Structure 1
Amino acid sequence: MKETRINALVSPEGSLEVLSKQEVDRLKDKSEGGLYRLFRQCALAVLNTGIETDDCKTLMESHADFDIRLVPQPRGLKLELINAPAHAFVDGSMLRANREHLFSVLRDILYTSSIPRTADGFRRDDPEDITNLIFHILRNAGVLQAGRQPDTVVCWGGHSINRAEYDYSKVVGHELGLRGLSICTGCGPGAMKGPMKGATIGHAKQRVANGRYIGITEPAIIGAEAPNPIVNELVIMPDIEKRLEAFVRTGHGVIVFPGGVGTAEEILYLLGILLHPDNRDLPFPLVFTGRQENAEYFEMIDRFIRQALGEEAASKYDIIIDDPVRVAQTMKHGIDEVVTFRRAMQDAYYFNWMLNIDPVFQMPFEPTHESMRALELHQDQPAHLIAANLRKAFSGIVAGNVKEQGIRQIQQKGPFEISGDPQLLAPLEQMLEAFVTQNRMKLPGSVAYSPSYRIVQGAAA
């Protein structure tokens, strides 16, 4: 049965009620340098909140007749939606969460595109300018709150998890909420939604009226992981690298639930940063957790980290199995240490300025068949650089699995080829095979997973 579509005029909710003529022109511009295609893609994603899909290409193709137009009004603007998904509405009115998310998309796309144009001397390849860009996007979105005590726990984990794993993430979120902690995730389903849902109940029991459920995403992934309806602060970062930096700059600690290649990418990103000599004394609580049935999964992750990055990397995290209370207590204690440290160092509570992020983690990596084959996957380099290159490998697999451009490349040229040191690639291949076997590459019910990668013999370039 064909899905019902709706035409509607939508008024702003939450932000950006007034646009300049130049901004309107850029949003209407369908050329390569215009913002129309990007805005349409992100808008369609947030209108599909609650729909479980992880194929951005299929989502776009199934809504080929969807259009979005700006309608100037004497007192501001409205958005005209044509052939919008009916599930984003109730009795003809758009759900408030969808409306907030829609205008968050508009706010962040315009702001992100305007800074490089208007900021004097802004350089896209300068580490300090990149961090400042992230700071300004977050501040413009209202995420950075100077008067608030540190309470933000970033939760990472798979969108493709089973019901029991989802329920466990929800229980952990409940324990965090009981301790007054807020949740920040990648904003999608699965382990990104569960902690938020649990925290809402914990906050309700403690009468926490200002609980935060922050979702940070980026245009290439939002179509595959539409914001879940609990997110009350949505931020669209320009790319995956800035999204990851936003997590570690604003979060005060990280909890990792079971996941697939996207979760492995996040783990390697954070460990690579924490292994940098400048960051070795910075407190940053990191906990891996899951049900008893996930113990073997985390043993595999731990084994891979020790083989690839060494024992120092393994000292950066705690593994806590089937004990949500202890997870929450560990995180609360870790955040207390962060508060003490930042107070002593006169560093901001709301943005981790002291964290030194090597430029290799900041420069956008564009996964192509050539760039994936050229990754320096060998152990004759510092551990934080091994982590950086492995992170890129996982990022490429994510792109091939769920991102529109990556999926098209795989369809046209076949799987990405990954080559390098056999001592590094053997455990990598073993872990990837486990992700496939455990159905962590695609959502349950999707078509059978066809690998977007191939491990090949030979030294890295």
Structure 2
Amino acid sequence: MNTDIEEVVIRPEGSLQILSYQEASQLCDVTQQGLNELLRQCALAVLNTGSNEDNGLALLNKFSKFEITVSVKGRGVQLIIRNAPRHAFVDNELIVGLKEHLFAVIRDLLYARNDVLNSGHFDLQRSHGITNAIFHIARNAGLVKANTIPNIVVCWGGHSINEDEYQYSKHLGYELGLRNLDICTGCGPGVMKGPMKGALLGHGKQRYKNGRYIGVTEPGIIAAEAPNAFVTELCIMPDIEKRLEAFVRLGHAIIIFPGGAGTMEELLYLLSILLHPDNNNIPLPVILTGNAASRDYFDAIIDFVSDALGAQACELLEVIIDHPRDVATKMKLAMEAVRQDRKASSDAYYYNWRLKLELDQQLPFIPNHENMHNLNLHKNQPVHQLASQLRKAFSGIVAGNVKADGIREIEKHGPFKIVGDPVIMQAMDKLLQKFVAQKRMKLDASDYNPCYTIEHPTNPL
């Protein structure tokens, strides 16, 4: 029995009602220059919200007959969807929240391609040009709101977590909601969902009607981390680097929950910014937190950071175990410090323009075998640059674990080979082994095969 929806026609709302014929053609173009395959992948992920699948290639294979086309009619635009997952519909009507996410996909893919990447209006080979492009994408998605005080807490953490860790993230989200703080996450399941669900309850109790539940993703990872149902403001950045920068530019404080390789990528990206000498006096509060059973996880994180980056990096990280109320209170107090700093520096409340990022942190990193092998994972460089290189190593592991292109790369050429300073390599191997043992690498970790090998004295390649 075919359980998929054979065909459904959806008419977009708002500005998407008046797409041009050229834009519709781009969305239907199946060539490498077109957007149809990207639209298909992102749309399928949105319609698969709630699934326990975290393998982008497996999802595409499972729904190999899924199609989405766009046509311009006299009365506006039509989306024609074929062989869609039935659980995205109620009585053959697409769930409203998923419809909103689907429209956000179309909006962001078109805007990023036509108004940013191919427009010639932004110098995407210079740091400020990239930062400016991210601002324009975020503003077009409605994420940039004037006349609001600093209020956004970015929550990072894994999609592959246990139930106790999820409940803790939801409890902390509830405490944040009681303090009228807004939530921004990577928009997927697990720790990206828990704080939003908790905050929704907290906002409701406080009758806070302006609560924001912001999800920021990118095409390569959306299939592995479909937007959760609580996201009300979805934005798809063109690549992982712009996604990461969007978090630190839009957010006012950051909470890091337990996670896996993706969470380490985010933490190392953050450290590469905080360790930059030009950012010493810019407040961006960071707290690592989890339930009582997650203490060993955070001990392992701090050990790795200490071995790889040194005491200076460790001093930037505050760990609070099993005290969600204390974390929320600190976040609330931190918002006033951020507000005062932005006011004194005349920086915008809604976008952190002052943070210094180097071009190496912003240009897209392509995780293929050559680039992974050539990473500079040695201590003969400034510590913030080393953190940036380590971020790329973990980005490659994420790609090999869950992204369709990365999985194909591993299937074709075997595991990535990671080489570097013996002390760093040993620390990295030790950390990743703990992630594997704690089942943090993938949702279905029962038969996890590492997509990497790490060279160090006790484990030569």
TM-score tier, shorter chain, comes to over 0.9
Tell me which amino acid in the other structure corresponds to 1:241: E
* Aligned partner letter, 1:155: C
User: Are the counterparts in 2 of residues 183 and 196 from structure 1 also a CA contact under 8 Å?
Assistant: yes
Distance apart, 1:307 and its partner CA: 1.6
SS at match of 2:406: helix
Runs of at least 4 residues of structure 1 off by over 6 A? none
Rounded Cα–Cα distance in structure 1 between residues aligned with 2:447 and 2:279: 42
What's the CA shift for 1:129?
1.1
What is residue 453 of structure 2 aligned with on the other side?
454
Aligned residue for 1:287, secondary structure, equals strand
Structure 1 residue runs of 5 or longer lacking an equivalent are none
What pairs up with 1:16-35 in 2 under 5 angstroms?
Answer: 16-35=16-35
Alignment of 1:33-182 (within 5 A): 33-116=33-116, 119-182=119-182
Gaps of 5+ in 2: none
> Secondary structure of 2:83's match?
strand
RMSD: 1.6
The 2-side partners of 1:258 and 1:55 are apart by 20
Q: Is the 8 A contact 2:220 2:403 kept in 1?
A: yes
Cα deviation code 1:38-62 (max 9, x no counterpart): 1111011101111111100000011
Partner of 2:392: 392
Q: Distance in 1 between matches of 2:117 and 2:203?
A: 41
Q: How many residue pairs end up in the alignment?
A: 459
Distance 2:117 2:227 in 1: 29
**Partner Cα separation in structure 2 for residue 116 and residue 152 of structure 1:** 25
Query: Do the aligned partners of 1:212 and 1:232 also contact (CA within 8 Å) in 2?
Result: yes
TM-score, reference length from structure 2:
0.97
Q: CA shift at 1:74, angstroms? A: 2.4
Per-residue deviation, 1:119: 3.9
CA drift at 1:294: 0.8
Q: CA separation in 2, counterparts of 1:433 and 1:214?
A: 32
| Partner residue in 2 for 1:209 | 209
Q: Matched residues in 1 for 2:168 and 2:448: separation?
A: 25
How far did residue 407 of structure 1 move?
0.4
- After superposition, residues 346-385 of structure 1 pair within 5 angstroms as 346-385=346-385
Partners of 1:355 and 1:75 lie apart in 2 by 46
| CA positional deviation for 1:117 | 6.1
Give SS of 2:216's match: strand
Structure 2 residue 306 is the aligned partner of structure 1 residue 310: no
SS at match of 2:72: strand
User: Displacement of 1:113 after TM fit?
Assistant: 0.2
Conserved? CA contact 2:4–2:86, under 8 Å: yes
**Which amino acid counterpart does residue 88 of structure 2 have in structure 1?**
A
Q: SS where residue 268 of structure 1 aligns?
A: helix
> How far 1:123 moved relative to its partner?
2.5
Aligned mates of 2:446, 2:320 — CA distance in 1:
33
Q: Give a deviation string over 1:14-35, Cα, whole Å, max 9, x none.
A: 6522111211111111111111
The secondary structure found in structure 2 opposite 1:52 is coil
SS for the counterpart of 2:17 is coil
Per the TM alignment, residue 358 of structure 1 is displaced from its structure 2 partner at its CA by: 1.2
Deviations 1:68-113 (A, max 9, x none): 1113232321211111111111011110010000000000000000
The aligned residue for residue 430 of structure 1 is 430
Equivalent residues of 2:16, 2:77 under 8 A apart: no
8 Å CA contact retained: 2:182, 2:211: yes
Matched, 1:195 2:208: no
Cα distance between partner residues in 1 of 2:173 and 2:305: 26
Amino acid at match of 2:201: I
Supply the distance in 1 between the matched residues of 2:49 and 2:206 (Cα, whole angstroms). Answer: 28
CA distance in 2, matches of 1:270, 1:75: 47
Residues 125-170 of structure 1, C-alpha deviation per residue, up to 9 Å, x if partnerless? 1111111110000000000001111111000000000000000000
> What residue identity is the alignment partner of 1:456?
E
Once the 2 structures are TM-superposed, how far is the Cα of residue 317 of structure 1 from its aligned partner?
2.1
Cα distance between partner residues in 2 of 1:207 and 1:121? 43
How far 1:333 moved relative to its partner? Answer: 1.2
Mapped contact 2:20–2:72 kept (Cα < 8 A) = no
SS at match of 1:80: strand
**Structure 2 counterpart of 1:66, which letter?**
F
Q: TM-score, normalised by structure 1?
A: 0.97
